[in-house]
Amino acid sequence: MKVYLFDISSGLYLGEDYWDSRDVLEAEGATNLAPPKVRYGQLPVYDRSVRKWKLVPIGSLQNSGAKNE
């Protein structure tokens, strides 16, 4: 199954891979939910608290550091 990888501390999208469906765990930085299409100047970030992707401005990650706790 195709999975989408994210950094577990920031939620920042890292890419995609193929895993067995039993191995997909959000705690390990993987979800089966595809990130949204990226718009210019934005990056996809996975929010584990609501189990959804969101697009955030690139500058907000540089200035505040993305936190996903």
What does pTM read for this prediction?
0.78
Task: Say whether 32 sits in a helix, a strand or coil.
Answer: coil
* pLDDT tens figures, 13-64: 999 998 777 766 676 899 989 999 998 999 999 999 999 999 999 988 765 5
Cβ neighbour number for residue 14 with a 10 Å cutoff? 16
- Angle of CA points 46, 57, 61, to nearest 5°: 70
The whole-angstrom distance between residue 36's C-alpha and the CA centroid of its chain comes to 10
* pLDDT tens figures, 1-15: 889 999 999 999 999
